[in-house]
């Protein structure tokens, strides 16, 4: 796996798993060791150039946006938004037994998810899309429902933390908004078909945009 792909995957995964926003790392050059993405958590105002607008639960895709269709064999990378907040995303796909390409903490989270679900790494496929304002991770596990995957992800990311879970409508989707004492921002879990999506964003407006672009 190219180093630029590894760095982008680690960056996207870190955003979701920490519910924080980070700038995607630059493509690596000659080093053979994984590079570390530098994570910053911008305030909503800093990200948008002004006060954050409130996301409306009824937000729907813009007329120019084609929402992808989800089928049993649809590659996860094809379901992810190419642009969020006016900025292109970097999109990558890998499988659960590729965890050696990730940094230790991220690999541990996905490994823990496999253990909770009782699944082999080869049964898990993952797609990631991220930019400096938001990130989306899609996970499919053979033999598991999207609900089971999402519940396992929430359980793993909220261990030993005070957590609030709210079911809300955002971006035209029914989602679980998860707020914990160990993350600076909430994250959102959305299940459809056999895929669980986890979204982290600089503000709820961007999260709504991301959700509106998912199947």
Q: What is the DSSP code string of 169-208? A: EETTEEEEEEEETTSSS-EEEEEETTEEEEEEESSHHHHH
Residue 64: other Cβ atoms inside 10 A: 5
pLDDT of 191 over the 90 cut: yes
Give the pLDDT confidence of 74-88 residue by residue, as tens digits: 899 999 999 999 999
Spatial neighbors of 115 by CB under 8 A, at least 6 apart, are none
Q: Domain segments of the chain: what residues?
A: 3-40+72-212
Confidence of residue 105 (pLDDT cuts 50, 70, 90): confident
Confidence of residue 143 (pLDDT cuts 50, 70, 90): very high
């Amino acid at each position: 796996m190219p180093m630029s792909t590894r760095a982008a995957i680690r960056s996207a995964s870190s955003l979701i798993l920490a519910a924080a926003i980070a700038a995607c790392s630059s493509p690596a050059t000659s080093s053979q060791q994984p590079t570390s993405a530098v994570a910053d958590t911008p305030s909503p105002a800093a990200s948008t150039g002004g006060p954050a607008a409130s996301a409306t639960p009824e937000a729907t895709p813009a007329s120019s946006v084609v929402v992808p269709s989800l089928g049993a064999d649809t590659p996860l990378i094809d379901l992810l938004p190419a642009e969020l907040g006016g900025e292109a995303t970097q999109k990558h796909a890998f499988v659960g037994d590729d965890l050696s390409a990730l940094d230790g903490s991220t690999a541990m989270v996905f490994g823990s998810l496999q253990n909770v679900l009782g699944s082999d790494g080869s049964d898990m496929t993952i797609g990631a899309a991220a930019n400096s304002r938001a990130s989306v991770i899609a996970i499919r596990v053979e033999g598991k429902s999207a609900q089971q995957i999402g519940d396992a992800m929430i359980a793993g990311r909220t261990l030993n933390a005070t957590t609030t879970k709210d079911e809300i409508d955002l971006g035209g989707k029914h989602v679980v908004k998860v707020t914990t004492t160990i993350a600076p921002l909430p994250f959102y879990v959305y299940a459809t078909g056999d895929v669980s999506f986890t979204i982290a964003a600089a503000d709820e407006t961007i999260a709504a945009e991301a959700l509106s672009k998912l199947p």
